Each structure stands twice: as C-alpha cells, then as structure tokens.
Amino acid sequence: MAIQTHFDKELSDLKEILLTMASHAEAAVKNAIEALTNRDYDLAQRVREDDTVIDKFELEVDEMAIHLLAKAPLASNLRLIMVATKISQNLERVGDEASKISNRARDLAQEAPLKLTLDIPRMSNLVLQMLKGALDAFVNQDPTAARALIPRDKEVDALNKQIYRDLSNQMMQDPETITRCLNLMIVAKSLERIGDHATNVAEEVVYLCEAQDIRHTGKGSSAALQTEMEHKRAV
Amino acid sequence: MAETTLPKITVALATQPAGTPTSLIEVQDLSLSYGAAQALKSISLGIGEKVVTAFIGPSGCGKSTLLRCFNRMNDLIDNVRIQGSVKIAQQDIYSQEVDVIELRKRVGMVFQKSNPFPKSIFENVAYGLRLQGITRNSQLAAAVEESLRQAALWEEVKDRLHTSGLGLSGGQQQRLCIARAIAIKPEIILMDEPASALDPIATTRVEELILDLKKDYTIVIVTHNMQQAARISDFTAFFYLGELVEYGTTSKIFTNPAKKQTEDYVTGRFG
Amino acid sequence: MTSAGTTTHANDFTGKKGRRFRAARIDWASLLGTGATGLATLLIVAILGIILGNIFINGLPHVSWRFVSTGTATDMFDVNKAGILPMIFGTTARVILMTLFVLPMGVLTAIYLTEYARIHSPFTRIIRGAVNNLAGVPSIVFGLFGAGFFVHFIGRGMDSALQSGGAIVWGQPALIWASATLAVMTLPVVIIATEESLRAIPQGLREASLALGASKLETIIKIVLPQAVPGIMTGAILAISRAAGEVAPILFTGAAYYMRDLPSSLHDQFMDLGYHVFILSTQSPNVDKTRPLLYATVLVLLCLTFMLNIVAIFVRAKMRKKARMLH
C-alpha cells in the first residue's frame, strides 16, 4: 500500500529545499575559511552576499512547514517537519557564522599576516567534517552516524580553548598584534559555534529517526543514553 | 560559487485571491429559505476554475444547501424560495431559459452516502452516457474505462465490470460514484462530504483522487473535517448559521484567519 | 462481597460455581406466552387442514379428466355427466384480463402519488382517502357499480355509437365488463402495494440519477420502476388471490348460468367456477346427488386459485433474481 501521496511529494520538496540550503551553508563555511587562509578579499565579500540567500531559505522552510502542519501530519511526517524547521534555523546560524568569519577574513587580509601557527585549519576541517557528517546522516536517515559525531564537539571545544591560549600569549607578548589576534579569536569562536550547530543537527537527526530527544544530556553514546532514559522513565 | 536563485518550489501555495474575474461560479447576494426557516443569508462569493474550494462550518450552517444550489438539486424540495443569483460561466442558472437537465450534465455531484445504482459496475458508469444518447458498445466501453482509471478504480474492478456495483466496499463504491459523475465530463464536480462515511485508508484514496482530478475539473467540496480541507483545498469558505463568515486561501484560513469566529471554529473552541 | 445466603461469585455466567445465577423458579410468563401463541398457530393450521382435507377427500374421487376438460352438454347437476371446462376457462380469463386492466392503472396511480404529487396538498389527501375507502367497499356494491357503469353506461353508449339498428353487443353482461369491475375492486391493493415498494427505494438513488442529468421521468423508468417490480408483483398476487374467488362483482356483469360454448370474444358472457358452486348448492334438484359434484368443483376452484398464485409468485421470483444479477 506504499503509494506516494501528494503529501509525500510535498515532504520531499521540503527535504530538497533543506538540502539545497545545507549545501549553501557548507559552501559558505568552506569559502570563508579559504578567504581567511588565502587572504582573498573578494571571496570574503561573496560569502557575505550569499548569506542573504541562506536567510531566504530559512523563511521558505518555515512557511512550508506551517503550511504542511495544517494538514495534521502524524508520526515520522510530523517529526520531519519539526526537525526541518530546527535544522534550517541551525543552518541559518551557520551561514551567519560563516559570514562573521569572512568579515574577519576581510579585515585580516588588509593587514600584514600574523606569524603564528594556530590550529585553525585543523579546527575548520573538523567542523566541516561534522557539518557534512550531520547532513549526510539526515539524508541517509542514519542515527548511528549522527550519534557518533556528537562527541567530536568536545574536540572542537578543546581546539578552541587551545587557540585562545595561544592567541592570549601572543597578545601579551606583542601588543602590536592585538587587533589581528582578536580577529582570529572571533574566527575561532565562530568555528566553535558552527561545531555546536552541527551537533544540534545531529541531535535532530536522532530525534527524526528514533523519536528520542538527546539534547542537553551531554552524552552522545547510546549506553549512557539508555540508562539516562530509563532513569527518566522510572521517576 | 554561491547561487543567488532559489530552486523552484513545487508546492502550489495558492496565491490567487478569491472572487476574481476568473470565477467560474459567481454567487451574488444569495438567500434561500425553506418555508419560514432561512438557510442562506445574502451569500456572495466567487469560485475559481480548476481549483478545489472547501466549504466548512458546523452542522446546519448552510454549506450543503449552498452546494446544492449550484446544480439546482434544491429544486426537489417543496417550499424553497431563492433570492439573488448564481452564475456559472456568466450565465444565471436560475433564469427561465436554463434547462436544469443540461445544467446537471455540466455540474456533477457526489453524495455523502455513496449511492451506486443496483446495476453492474459498467452500467453504473455508463448510465450518464446512455442518457446522452451514446449507445454504441465500443464508445461506452472506452469511456467507462477512462472514467474508472481516472477514479483510480480500474485496476480493482476491470475483471468484474458486469458484477453488481453494490458488491464493492464502501470506499470503492464512493469511487464508483465519482467515476459515474466524471464519465459525462462535467466542468464542475460538487462533493458533499464524500469521505465522511469512509475508513481512513479509503478516505486517503478519495483525497488523493480529488488532488489528481483538480487539474481537469473544478471541485467544490463540503467537509466537516478541517484537516481534510487543509490537505486538499486551495480555497476555503467558512459558514456559520447561513452566513459566509470568511473566504480566503486555505493557507490563510487555517494558519491565520482574519475573523475571530473562524479562529474559534478552526481551533475547536466552538460548541 | 459475599454474605451468608449466597455463595461465591461465579467466574463465568453458567452459574456452576454458585447458586447466584441459577433460576429460582420457573418463568411462567414466558411459558404462557409460548404456549398460547403456539396453540393459536396450531389451531389455525388445524382448521385449515380440516377444511382442505375435507374438500380434498370428498372432491378428489370425482375429479376426472373428462370433468375438467369438457363442458356439460346435458345435465350439469349429474356428477357423471357434468364438465367444468367452461368455468375454468371463464375464471382464468377474467382473472388474467383483470390483471391486464388493474396493473397499469394501479401502478400509474401509485407512481403519481409517490413521485409527482405534492405531499401535503388537499388534492393528494383526497386521492389517498378515496383509495383507502375503496378498499372497504363491499364486493356486491362493486357488482352493482359494474352493472350500472360499465354494462349500461359505457356498454350501451358504445352500442349506440358503433352499432346500427339498435343492436346490443356491448351493452350487456360481458367478460370485459366483469374483468373491469374486478379491476376497480382490486385497485386499492395494487396501488398500496406499489406505493410501498416505491417508498422503499432510497431517495439517494433518485438524487444520483437526477444529478447525472436524467429527467424525472427517465429516473422513474430506468431506476425506480425496475427496483419496484417485485413489490408490484406482490400487489398483483394479492389482487389475483382476491379476485379469483369473488362472485358478487361478476354476478351482474358477466357470469352466465349456462353457456353451451366457450366465450369467443370480449363481449361474450362466461361461466365461472365460483358462481357455479353457488348454482350447484342452490339450484340443484337433488342435493345429495349434487354434493360430490360440489366438492369436486370447489376443489378445482381452490386448485386454480392456488396455481394462479404460484404462477404469479414464480414470475416475481424470477424478476427478483434478475434484479439481483443485474443487467
């Protein structure tokens, strides 16, 4: 009896828009980091412009979502619509963070490069991986993959802290570099935020597939989760 | 490189405002009473072509009565008095020159309780065609097949066309009635709570059917199921106690109605 | 909670585990009801059995092939010489003719009353009243009506218009007038039975037909009437059953004391089984000699009525079956 109804078609349209938005967001982050590394002013400018497109997508997804909710969907359809609005919100923020990075990149490009090795490339790679991983998990409806990347946020946080320490030391050693260091701190912060958003998307994917809300538990593994859930139910 | 164009969204969020010059059915100040009781009070609205329009409202609000005005089925009731006008394709259907029989061939109806004739499935669908004088078997067979296919019933009944229509399940019977109505290719199909007597699966099938039929027919459906109206209609009209309270795009009526009465009904705060 | 008087609750309703559900005493009311109604039924069946049995036993020996296949040339009170073919023919003919008259009239009236007439108009109420009252008129009154209206008024009228020289052809008792009188008498039965069957057809079917662009007449012919046929046949059966045995309406309108030949046209008189029974019991010179003849005639009358009913029921069953298999 699995026929594709008109409603199913509307849901796949929703998914399509979400994924298009996601590819824009991913591209924005990539481009922002590239603009930073290559000191590319024009690329940074384009990232900023592209952010309006991402914002429009968020509006589109929300409008579609409420239109679909009026039709009283149930079960996985209902969860999909809820999750779609949350993911689009997270993606929109990712776009904003990418925009922030590109703004810093623009400013940094106009000054002399800082002679300091930082873990920013490593951090940005990790964050991009997480983002891609979360979106792939959404496409493939794979909660296990989604769960697997949640602990990696800790790595991101650790890298962020390290970069802060390095930059703080640099600023204390050489006050001439304060402006540039501060800009880089903002970049690191933005990357950390992007990591958080990727984690959020992963959590939403778990909710979509398993109807389990794993937000705010601080744990990503299933075993710990299970005891957590049981504890909740017993109370 | 980032694109700046948005992908085409295939969800047709209806944007055509109601009551435009492209209205196929134009109702102007229509009032109807049975004896002393007034069922419709000064209704004015325009129904667009090749869209699905839903009439919602509590029991006794006049939605079915209005529907029946469009094919003059109210003529069958004694003591009915009508004021105002109903124009279909710019022609006043209550004027003297209009032949009711011809009108009903162009405005078909599907009823709440499915009412197939106690004839074979084939003869049920062919009934309207025979009325129009089509008697050649080849022509009838082709038309019957086409209608049953359009009504998503062909696969289920193609091997038993000459068995009784009454032997089908409730949902199938209703689809048979729809096939019967579309066999004569009306321009407008009126549906009076077509799925209210059906189970959820049969209801879904009928709803899908209506969405498919939309591209060829103008459909007006009376329903007391608001989620159904939200699912299948492009425009919705809310009636209460014989009056038209609000008429607009389905999106607006169900997400942000303009009138408080509509909001109360749609959120279930009514009695 | 249990107390001293009752034992534990039964887990099922058989009452096996305790006394709670066992009947304490016999249900006299039910028993009385069953007994009384059963007795009444038995009584009726017994009476019917006695009557039929009596007739059968006394009449059968005298029913011979000659009896039912020839007319009486000489003495019709003599059991060895009498023949009742003319009576059988006459009765059958008038019943069939009556059916041909009453069915169209009755069905059309019923259709008018159900489909066309406005329910609450005074005109409709008058018609309804007339139909109902007609059902209660005594059959002898129909006989007199038939004689006055059909035989004299219409018959004589036809004669003066069609015949020359004052010849009386239609203006006398005849098969056609007797049948017409019977038709008038059984009209209420057919009307009411048809009306019932028309009303039983759900309004939804009519609406569906009209909504497809059929006129009212087309709807009646194509949808309503075919569905109503079994009911109409029931009316016909009732009419036949009543008419086959009636004598009073045909007394002055067509029944003959004696005819040598079978009626050859509609304006001829006819002999009739019911009337013949009357003749045999009142006009016979020798009652004892005629009695076996009487029994035999009555037996044949009953058989004929029975067979006419069977034929009608058979036709109705076939129509029902056809309706079920559909066209």
Q: What is the pLDDT of residues C259-308, one digit of tens each?
A: 878 888 888 888 888 888 888 888 888 888 888 888 888 888 888 888 88
CA distances from C200 to A151, C131, C195 (A): 74, 20, 9
pLDDT (tens digit per residue) in B151-195: 989 999 999 999 999 999 999 999 999 999 999 999 999 999 999
Interface residue C213 vs chain B (CB under 8 A) = yes
CB A189 within 8 A of CB A164: no
pLDDT at A89 over 80: yes
B252 chain-A contacts, CB cut-off 8 A: none
The secondary structure of chain A as a DSSP string is -----HHHHHHHHHHHHHHHHHHHHHHHHHHHHHHHHHT-HHHHHHHHHHHHHHHHHHHHHHHHHHHHHTT---HHHHHHHHHHHHHHHHHHHHHHHHHHHHHHHHHHHTSPPP----SHHHHHHHHHHHHHHHHHHHHHT-HHHHHHHTTHHHHHHHHHHHHHHHHHHHHHH-GGGHHHHHHHHHHHHHHHHHHHHHHHHHHHHHHHHH----TTSS--SHHHHHHHHHHHHH-
**What residue ranges do the domains of chain A occupy?**
6-234
Amino acid at C246: E
Q: List the domain range (segments joined by +) for residue B244.
A: 23-115+187-266
- Residue B8: what pLDDT? 43
Which residues in chain B have their CB less than 8 angstroms from residue C215's CB? Answer: 101
Mutation for testing the A interface, residue in B211, B231, B252, B256 having most A CBs under 10 Å: B231
> Residue C167 to residues A210, B155, B269, C161, C173: CA-CA distances in angstroms?
105, 74, 89, 11, 14
On the question of pLDDT at A1 being above 70, the answer is: no
Show the tokens assigned to C78: 């003599």
Read off the pLDDT of residues A119-160 as tens digits, 9 standing for 90 and up. 899 999 999 999 999 999 999 999 999 999 999 999 999 999
**Distance separating alpha carbons of residues C303 and C326, to the nearest angstrom:** 34
Helix, strand, coil proportions of chain C in percent (round to 5)?
70, 0, 30
Spatial distance between the Cα atoms of C268 and C272, rounded to a whole number of angstroms: 13
**Chain C closest-CA separation from residue B23 CA (Å):** 23
d(CA B70, CA C74): 78
Residue B125 lies in a domain: no
CB contact under 8 A, C118 and B78: yes
Inter-chain CB proximity A5 and B208 less than 8 Å = yes
Q: How confident is the model at residue C1 (pLDDT cuts 50, 70, 90)?
A: very low
What is the pLDDT averaged over residues C195-200? Answer: 92
Provide the number of CB pairs (under 8 Å) joining chain B to chain C. 71
Would you state the pLDDT for residue A126?
A: 94
Residues B220, B31: Cα–Cα separation, whole Å: 19
What's the CA gap between A18 and A61, in Å, rounded? 7
In the three-class reduction of DSSP (H, G, I as helix; E, B as strand; rest coil), residue C132 is classed as helix
Residue B1: per-residue pLDDT: 39
Of B190, B184, B148, which Cα lies nearest the Cα of B168? B148
Choose among B71, B111, B132: nearest Cβ to C208. B111
Type of residue found at C32: L
- Residue A28 forms contact with B (CB below 8 Å): yes
DSSP element (H, E) containing C51: helix C28-59
Which candidate, B209, B197, B121, B104, places its Cα nearest to that of B166? B121
- Give the whole-angstrom CA distance, residue A109 versus residue A106: 5
Asked if residue B15 belongs to a domain, the reply is no
Please, which residues bridge with residue B244 across strands?
B239
Count CA atoms within 13 Å of residue C162 on its CB side. Answer: 10
The angle subtended at Cα B17 by Cα B13 and Cα B20, nearest 5°, is 140
Kindly state the average pLDDT of the residues C139-166.
86
Residue of A nearest to B230 (CA): A71
In chain A, residues with a C-beta closer than 8 Å to the C-beta of B254 are 70
* Beta-carbon count within 10 A of A50 CB: 24
Q: Is residue C18 predicted with pLDDT exceeding 60? A: no
Q: Could you tell me which residues come within 8 angstroms of residue C213 by beta carbon, excluding any fewer than 6 positions away?
A: B101, B102, B104, B105, B128, B131, B132, B184
| Complex-level ipTM | 0.88
pLDDT of B10 above 50: no
**Cα separation, C55 vs C298, whole angstroms:** 7
Task: Say if the Cβ atoms of C208 and B113 lie within 8 Å.
Answer: no
Count Cβ–Cβ pairs < 8 Å, chain A vs chain B. Answer: 56
Kindly list the distances between the CA atom of residue C4 and the CA atoms of B244, C1, C7, C8, in Å, as whole numbers in the listed order.
70, 10, 7, 10
Task: Note the pLDDT tens digit of each residue in B191-227.
Answer: 999 999 899 888 998 999 999 999 999 999 999 998 8
Buried (b) or exposed (e) across B104-139, using 16+ Cβ within 10 A?
bbbbbbbbbebbbbbbbbbbbbbbbbebeeeeeeee
pLDDT confidence band for B2 (50 / 70 / 90)? very low
Per residue in B90-106, pLDDT (tens digit) is 899 999 899 999 999 99
Q: 3-state DSSP call for residue C186?
A: helix
Q: CA dihedral in degrees (C92, C93, C96, C98; nearest 10)?
A: -120
Which chains are within 8 Å of B by 3+ CB pairs?
A, C
Q: Looking at CA atoms only, how far is residue C267 from chain B in angstroms?
A: 44
pLDDT of residue A64: 93
The shortest C-alpha distance from A10 to chain B (Å) reads: 6
In this structure, what is the dihedral angle of CA atoms B69, B75, B78, B82, given to the nearest 10 degrees? 50
**Res. A98 pLDDT band, cuts 50 70 90:** very high
Which superfamily is assigned to A6-234 in CATH?
Answer: Phosphate transport system protein phou homolog 2; domain 2 (1.20.58.220)
What count of other Cβ atoms lies within 10 Å of the Cβ of residue A109? 17
Rounded Cα gap, residues C213 and B109, in angstroms = 10
CA-based nearest distance B238→chain A, Å: 16
From chain B, the residues in CB contact with C119 under 8 A are 78
Mean pLDDT across chain A = 90
Residue C202 dihedral angles phi and psi, to the nearest 5°: -65, 140
CA proximity to C214, closest of B126, A102, B7, A112: B126
Provide, as residue numbers in chain A, all residues whose Cβ is less than 8 Å from the Cβ of B54. Answer: none
pLDDT at A218: 60
Positive or negative: CA dihedral A172, A175, A176, A178 = positive
Is the confidence at residue A79, as pLDDT, over 80? yes
Identify whether B133 is part of a domain.
no
Cβ density class B141-153: b for 16+ within 10 Å, e for less: eebbbbbbebbbb
Q: Looking at residue B199, which CATH number applies to its domain?
A: 3.40.50.300
| Cβ within 8 Å, pair B2-A31 | yes
Measured between CB atoms, does A15 come within 8 Å of chain B? no
- Does A52 score more than 90 pLDDT? yes
Q: Give chain A positions within 8 Å (CB) of B1.
A: 46
Query: Which chain B residues are within 8 Å of C327, Cβ to Cβ?
Result: 119-120, 123
Q: What is the pLDDT of residue B65?
A: 94
Q: Do B11 and A64 touch (CB under 8 A)?
A: yes
Q: Considering chain B, what is the average pLDDT of its residues?
A: 88
- The total domain count for chain B is 1
Residues in chain B: 271
Give the per-residue pLDDT at C324: 65
> Which residues touch B218 (CB under 8 Å, ≥6 apart)?
B24, B25, B47, B48, B49, B50, B51, B187, B188, B189
Q: Is B97 exposed, middle or buried (0-12, 13-18, 19+ CB in 10 A)?
A: exposed
Task: Choose among A13, C31, C129, C138: nearest CA to B6.
Answer: A13
**Domain annotation covers residue B98:** yes
